[in-house]
Structure 1
Amino acid sequence: MSGVHKNTSICDDESAHYRSFARQGPNGNSDFLDHEIAQLTKLRSAPNEFLSKNVPGKFRLPVSTVKMLVGRECNYSGRGRFSTADGCHVLSQYLPVNGPCRVDRMKSRAYVSQFSDDGTLFIAGFQGSHIRIYNVDKDWKVQKDILAKSLRWTITDTCLSPDQRHLVYASMSPVVHIVNIGSSATESLANVTEIHDGLDFSWNEEDDDDEYEFGIFSVKFSTDGRELVAGSSDNAIYVYDLEANKNSLRIHAHQSDVNTVCFADETGHIIYSGSDDNICKVWDRRCFTGRGKAAGILIGHLKGITFLDSRGDGRYLISNGKDQTTKLWDIRKMSSNATCAPILGDTGWDYRWMEYTPHARTLKHPHDQSLATYRGHSVLRTLIRCYFSPEYSTGQKYIYSGSSDCSVYIYDLVSGAQVARLDYHEGAVRDCSWHPVYPMMVSSSWDGVIAKWEPVPPRRRSSRRRAYGI
């Protein structure tokens, strides 16, 4: 299996593999991802042609930062400065592969971890009821240590409000708790030192006969902070109105657990969902034609979907699946419920304790609607998460994922090449997060360790220069 060596950049052997894979393409049948998103990614992350001085027709390897600086000083572009794309190109060469440095270690499994939108805070949730909020700018000091209330099994998800004043956390319960993290107290013990308000997602319609105790797998704030969207074990999507303090919507969304939900963009009109029924669905709240009617479905995974991440433009998303793949989607390719039914996998296979057979990794859905498929990481034991890399520092040119084989994988979005594999942990890496501004990544694992990865120092970058020919 390809990937970088432990704690290093891409080596010479990997450079050859990168060229080969890039020509082959993410689905093994094209030179490059032949789609609009490839051009959009290039516009966001490729250097100005006058700064790069690349020869037409040659395979485009990352351009030397020194050459770009010379080009800027000589004003080859005519602007006298780097564009946003130039900056992304420079920063994206400094992949966070060095280290790691241990941030913290707890006695229970780490399930969720994320940077705040501005990168000043980092939140990690553990199975042993603790949620820790670290102040990144103050040498990762624990700013808040939250002891979760009424925890069932584990903390399944956390989400920080857009104003960074409140945190919600979920578990296998219909009640999601919200905590004011802006208070001065470091220790937050539920309803002892601080109030952990309970938001009850139970739906109390008189015509519902299928009410029962369920759990929340995924919860997200809307961009304006007024709503929460949640995916649950009762196959439903819930939208909670925080101002009215009640559920505003329940959708009978899927035929199995809804493992992941998110808003498509800042408007909050469109919601994406992924389920153990192998399907991604798109919901447009502006044009519901009937109860539980999706705007469209996206088919391609052969097993259940563990996580979704939106590119933030209301058009593209990625998903992790139990078929051991990450897939890239364009919702303009979605189908209606009536015209394209899913093919359900073997219900006898359980990813929590069974291995995925090697021959199954090569199978492809006959009606696959995805733009690209990325393979190499492992999605077993738990709901492994995947993401687009940050827009500010990389132009979203990479996607990355945790893995049950204790590593973090980074792929080139357009070529599909595995450009890095971070090996350190001794347990499944369920979640990982790339800093929104700096080339820094933090991984969280079932070994209880929160680990920080940073770029290779300049004095150790010789192997990378050889690999890229710069």
Structure 2
Amino acid sequence: MGWKRKTHNGGSCHQQQSCPSHGNELSAIDEEVSHLTRLKSQPCERTRASLYAGKKRPISTFKLLSGRESNCLGIGRFSSADCSYALRKHLPVKGPWCVDDMDSEAYISQFSADGSLLIGGFRGSHIRIYNAEKKWTIHKDITCKKLRWTVSDIALSPDQRYLAYSSLSPIIHMVDIQNGMRESHANITQVHEGLEFSNDDDGFSFAIFSVKFSKDGRELVVGNNNESICIYDIGSNKVTERIHAHSADVNAVTFADEGSDVLYSGSDDSLCKVWDRRCNKRGKQVGVLTGHLDGITFIDSRGDGHYFISNCKDQTIKLWDIRKMSSTVKDCTPKAYEWDYRWMTYPSEARYFKHPYDQSLSTFRGHSVLRTLIRCYFSPIHSTGQRYIYTGSSDQCVYIYDVATGKIVEKLRWHGSIIRDCSWHPYFPTLVSSSWDGYLVRWEATEDDKDPSMLKTGKQRMHPEGYTFSFVF
């Protein structure tokens, strides 16, 4: 393949090595974040007062149900915090069960906003949409057009009618997924409209890594290897803003909240930046967040306009508050080690380096980020109060961290290769992971040994690129 991804040193500052034990880092969880997280994921004060007279002790699910039946809150139902507290104790760690098994690497697994659909994207030219409410039957089987290597990202419109999919190319394709046609073969059984993002100077090498719909569905925003953020107006069918955002590939871009004015971006230059489209100088960031030591692979917003997390090739997730950002980039010197995350392991001497100007609120360690742009997310607000952060990992596991303590609370093992993406159902205790072993699998909170799709371990087969993975139902 003629296209080769650009490498970059990350532009990180002169590092100071901290103690190899990172216990101090975990205990330094920001007090405000910890407090807000506990407020949304622990029983409210009225519930605690009515059941245990305010004593700080665990409340069983039976006690919560009894309190609801006796209407101790006076509202005839759980509060949102009570609901999150009851549900977050039932994490999706049982299984897994097979959703699909393909003969190519699974790169994407994403639930729709209402949880009714699951979208899986695979290397080659395949996207499948599953009906999560009808035993994971295939709702839409899409054969993509003009993919370069793989589906790099997908975005579902707010009305869940249109799917936008990107590749390592300058064109995003849009497909109507609600037209009643199960098979969608690009421009044969259904037209996949192409949206051109490059200009005359970009050439064939333009590659898109990240794509998001605006909340009103009228715009698409992308991050790409041309060091820029592009905003496409779907109604006028053209790129309306092209921001030279970073000094290296822009691997991640997302909206801060329900509005479409504030954007977060992350790049191989190791920086996270904040953009406000309401400002007069729309091509200049309103803030920079420094602390990572290598390229950013993904960003997820908490949805409140203040907090977001970023996954990074320095093998960490960091939690940020944009109210603590800087207006400019700190003067930096090149990092003291060289490596390529596509084929090398992370340098052991760099594992506990700390950026001298680290502005993050907390750092989460344990998972690994190698070979591909691995993704991380906040857990759902409805069922967990966003108490957790979860991520794929190149060590074939899904990691779940507690936001309030920074500790690993669960580690899901079954896959036999890199887990690039995973998605937690917005309302139910179900988590789906997608791996380079070709599997989409689901994890549940309860066991069901009678389900024939339950996967077992113990047998291996060799992946075409040399990775091994488990199989057998």
Per the normalisation by structure 2, the TM-score is 0.86
CA distance in structure 2 between the partners assigned to 1:358 and 1:424 by the alignment: 26
CA distance in structure 1 between the partners assigned to 2:391 and 2:52 by the alignment: 31
Post-superposition Cα deviations, 1:234-277, rounded to whole Å, max 9, x if no partner, equal: 11100000011100100111111000101111110011100000
Q: 1:130 aligns to what?
A: 126
After superposition, where does 1:248-287 map in structure 2 within 5 Å?
A: 248-287=240-279
Task: Tell me whether 347-356 or 262-271 shows the greater mean CA deviation.
Answer: 347-356
Change (3 A) 1:81 1:56: closer
CA distance in structure 1 between the partners assigned to 2:429 and 2:259 by the alignment: 28
Task: Confirm whether residue 336 of structure 1 aligns to residue 336 of structure 2.
Answer: no
Task: Confirm whether residue 218 of structure 1 aligns to residue 216 of structure 2.
Answer: no
2:339·2:347 contact (CA, 8 Å) conserved in 1? no
CA distance in structure 1 between the partners assigned to 2:130 and 2:238 by the alignment: 31
Work out the percentage of aligned pairs sharing the same amino acid: 58
In the TM superposition, what is the alpha-carbon distance from 1:391 to its structure 2 partner? Answer: 0.7
2:266·2:298 contact (CA, 8 Å) conserved in 1? yes
Change (3 A) 1:147 1:414: same
2:101·2:440 contact (CA, 8 Å) conserved in 1? yes
After superposition, where does 1:333-372 map in structure 2 within 5 Å?
A: 333-337=324-328, 340-342=330-332, 344-345=334-335, 348-372=338-362
In the TM superposition, what is the alpha-carbon distance from 1:69 to its structure 2 partner? Answer: 2.0
Post-superposition Cα deviations, 1:324-378, rounded to whole Å, max 9, x if no partner, equal: 000000001110125x235543573100100012332211111100001001111
Post-superposition Cα deviations, 1:184-225, rounded to whole Å, max 9, x if no partner, equal: 211111100000010000135xxxx66663100000101110
List runs of 5+ in structure 2 lacking aligned partners. 1-21, 450-473
Post-superposition Cα deviations, 1:12-51, rounded to whole Å, max 9, x if no partner, equal: xxxxxxxxxxxx9782344xx3332222222211103454
Q: 1:147 aligns to what?
A: 143
Post-superposition Cα deviations, 1:78-113, rounded to whole Å, max 9, x if no partner, equal: 545321110011011110000000110000001111
Match of 2:87 among 91, 106, 130: 91
After superposition, where does 1:26-425 map in structure 2 within 5 Å?
A: 27-30=25-28, 33-49=29-45, 51-52=47-48, 63-204=59-200, 213-289=205-281, 291=283, 293-337=284-328, 340-342=330-332, 344-345=334-335, 348-425=338-415
Give the secondary-structure state (helix, strand or coil) at the position aligned to 1:167. Answer: strand
Give the secondary-structure state (helix, strand or coil) at the position aligned to 1:443. Answer: strand
1:108·1:448 contact (CA, 8 Å) conserved in 2? yes
In the TM superposition, what is the alpha-carbon distance from 1:68 to its structure 2 partner? Answer: 1.8
Give the secondary-structure state (helix, strand or coil) at the position aligned to 1:138. Answer: coil
1:303·1:344 contact (CA, 8 Å) conserved in 2? no
Q: 1:16 aligns to what?
A: none
- Structure 2 letter corresponding to 1:149: K
Give the secondary-structure state (helix, strand or coil) at the position aligned to 1:137. Answer: coil
CA distance in structure 2 between the partners assigned to 1:26 and 1:173 by the alignment: 43
CA distance in structure 2 between the partners assigned to 1:407 and 1:437 by the alignment: 23
Task: Confirm whether residue 426 of structure 1 aligns to residue 426 of structure 2.
Answer: no
In the TM superposition, what is the alpha-carbon distance from 1:75 to its structure 2 partner? Answer: 4.5
1:302·1:343 contact (CA, 8 Å) conserved in 2? no
List runs of 5+ in structure 1 lacking aligned partners. 1-23, 460-470
2:26·2:363 contact (CA, 8 Å) conserved in 1? no
CA distance in structure 2 between the partners assigned to 1:26 and 1:457 by the alignment: 37
Change (3 A) 1:347 1:199: farther
Change (3 A) 1:419 1:376: same
CA distance in structure 1 between the partners assigned to 2:287 and 2:53 by the alignment: 43
Change (3 A) 1:377 1:242: same
Change (3 A) 1:287 1:259: same
Task: Tell me whether 357-366 or 75-84 shows the greater mean CA deviation.
Answer: 75-84
Change (3 A) 1:234 1:34: closer
CA distance in structure 2 between the partners assigned to 1:29 and 1:83 by the alignment: 30
Give the secondary-structure state (helix, strand or coil) at the position aligned to 2:252. Answer: strand
Q: 1:463 aligns to what?
A: none
1:25·1:416 contact (CA, 8 Å) conserved in 2? no
2:95·2:447 contact (CA, 8 Å) conserved in 1? no
